[in-house]
Structure 1
Amino acid sequence: MTDHAELTNIFADLSRLARQSVQAVSARVTFEDKGAGSFDPVTALDRDIEKLMRDYLLAKHPDHGVWGEEFGWSNEGSPIHWSIDPIDGTRAFICGLPSWCVLVGYLREGRHQAGMIDCPSLGELLVAVGGTTLRNGEPVVASNCMSLATARLATTDPCLFDKDEAASFSAVRQRTLVTRYGLDALAYARVATGDLDLVIENKLQRHDLDALVPVVRGAGGHVGDWSGGEDWDVGRIVAAASRALYDEAVAVLSR
């Protein structure tokens, strides 16, 4: 069993490994397109970070599973596993924008237990362990915004919604105070820190979301799917500063 102190230390080590890799990268970043029909960039840094973190975790806990975006599974079927997205927001990264993050989730029997959103360009490390989220060692709390009318909403790219999803998202957006785009995982970090109130997205893979769920929940927010449940594999995610705000958003989305 991995205790809270060990988890905190592991996340600190993973952040250190990722940031050391980032510092070694030259100013000019090259990338490949691994998409099939849509642009999906990957860089050498994506692979380097994941390999370093994967090797570290398996050396420390050889019986744990590790699932990463770039290299897939090690020890698939283990009751405890780590979910890695080495760079969430690679499009932002190759454009020189600071919103990309390093994501690591810790799950037991498929349930989210702890997570890390590391924002190297901003010097922020958010870690959720034991039901509490810390930013650079200090507790953070979601805003507790209770209604769409006062909510600050975000989604990474509204063009990713299909026709029906776009109509549902627009119905929510028209009821909110302000909407911002292009933040990737940083939007969820900002829900946890109280600076945004609501994030609505689709087409998320497990490596995109496994770290986000505990970080938002550890700050007092609520995360679920568009139907009010926790069907993570569908990839439609709502993260809200309060359960009341989540329920109101879901009610609009499901109309």
Structure 2
Amino acid sequence: MLTNNEYAAHAAKIAEIASEAARGFFRGRLGVEFKADESPVTQADKGIEADIRAYLAEHFPDNGIFGEEHGIEGGDREHLWVIDPIDGTRSFLSGNPMFGFLLAYLNGGVPQVGVIAMPALHETFIGVKGQGATLQGQPISSSTQTALDRAILYVNEGEKIYRDYPTIFEQLIRAGQTRRFSYDCYPHALVAAGHVDAVVDYDLQPYDYLPVSVVVEAAGGVISDWRGDQLTLNSDGRVVSAATPELHAELLALVNGSS
């Protein structure tokens, strides 16, 4: 039986493989297809996930895998790996370096290890449940900000929030001392590293939020769905991450209409 730190060592190796592969595709000629929901997928997405599945099949043949591009295999197994080969495909295909690679290891449905790798930035964030988070092997921690009116706030998927929750959107664009509109995983990594205080996110899938949840929590932050419930494979994709419980509570009040 491996320890979480041993799983984390494998996760770090997988991130190296994925990051190197992504850099090989980045700003090259990509074959782009569109899924049923009109989101793009590239040859890189499919190729990277295939490489990671091959690694996991070799080293963890009895573990389940849930990947964005190739679906679930062994989803009912105790040990499950969750993969997003390129988080931010629209950034990737347009030459924007703000795309990531996401990986989580779950035991009994509970995330134990999470990776946020930023291949074009040569940054890898790793979180291990109860044991801290690192960037390039060095410890990181979330900020100590407790007040929303003094916080650096990032709003992910703002146009979708505006479409579905216009009142909440109107409050978000007035919240925080400084705010930025953003996408994908990097804002959550910046919460873990203490540069950003909070992120409100929307319309995510398990392979988007489970990896970042471990990194944020291991760094001392708080992350949940908009109701304040723990993130699981069955969460609805509405996510709030924050540096402190106090700041998290303020944002939950805002998105639930009680601010």
TM bin, normalised by shorter chain, reads over 0.9
In structure 2, the CA distance between the partners of 1:31 and 1:166, relative to structure 1 (3 Å rule), is farther
Match of 1:145? 145
Q: Relative to 1, partners in 2 of residues 1:25 and 1:103: Cα closer, same or farther, differing over 3 Å?
A: same
Partner of 2:196: 196
Amino acid at match of 1:135: L
1:57 aligns with 2:56: yes
Alignment of 1:2-81 (within 5 A): 2-25=2-25, 27-36=27-36, 39-81=38-80
Alignment-derived partner of residue 174 in structure 1? 174
CA contact (8 A) 1:172 1:249 kept: no
User: Which residue does 1:136 correspond to in 2?
Assistant: 136
Change over 3 Å in CA distance of 1:58–1:180 after alignment to 2: same
Alpha-carbon deviation of 1:14?
A: 0.5
Distance 2:184 2:126 in 1: 17
Specify the code of the residue in structure 2 equivalent to 1:115. Answer: G
Looking at structure 1, the residues matched to 179 and 12 of structure 2 have their Cα atoms a distance apart, in angstroms, of: 32
Quote how far apart the aligned CAs of 1:106 are: 0.9
1:168-214, Cα deviation, whole Å (9 max, x unpaired):
13313313111112341000100001111111111100011110000
Query: What is the CA-CA distance between 1:112 and the residue it aligns to?
Result: 1.4
1:108 alignment partner in structure 2: 107
- AA aligned to 1:219 is A
Once residues 3 and 80 of structure 1 are traced to their aligned partners in structure 2, the CA distance between those partners, rounded to angstroms, is: 12
Q: Contact 2:65 / 2:74 at 8 angstroms: preserved in 1?
A: yes
Q: Which runs of 5+ in 2 are unaligned?
A: none
CA distance in 1, matches of 2:106, 2:173: 32
CA contact (8 A) 1:81 1:107 kept: yes
- 1:96 is aligned to 95
More displaced stretch, 128-137 vs 27-36: 27-36
- 2:114 is matched by which residue type in structure 1? G
Give the deviation of 1:58 after TM superposition.
Answer: 1.9
Counterpart contact for 2:153–2:175, Cα < 8 Å: no
More displaced 10-residue stretch of structure 1: 43-52 or 4-13: 4-13
Q: Secondary structure at the match of 2:175?
A: coil
SS at match of 2:169: helix
* Structure 1 moving runs of 4+ over 6 Å: none
Matching residue of 1:245: 247
- Tell me the secondary structure at the aligned position of residue 48 of structure 1: helix
Q: Establish whether residue 124 from structure 1 lines up as the match of residue 123 from structure 2.
A: yes
1:107-162 C-alpha deviation (Å, 9 max, x unpaired): 11111111000011111110112421000000001012101101111123311125
Normalising by structure 1, we get a TM-score of 0.94
Counterpart CA distance in 2 for 1:150 and 1:35 is 40
Partner of 1:225: 225
Contact 2:129 2:217 in 1 (8 A): no
- Cα 1:167/1:33, change in 2 over 3 Å: farther
TM-score by length of 2: 0.92
Q: Does 1:211 align with 2:226?
A: no
Give secondary structure in 1 for the equivalent of 2:85. Answer: strand
Tell me the amino acid that sits aligned with residue 180 of structure 1.
R
Partners of 1:92 and 1:166 in 2: how far apart? 25
Contact preservation (8 Å) 2:64, 2:80: yes
Q: Distance in 2 between matches of 1:101 and 1:127?
A: 13
Structure 1: where are the runs of 5+ without partners? none
Which residue type is aligned with residue 246 of structure 2?
A: A
Partner AA of 2:242 in structure 1: A
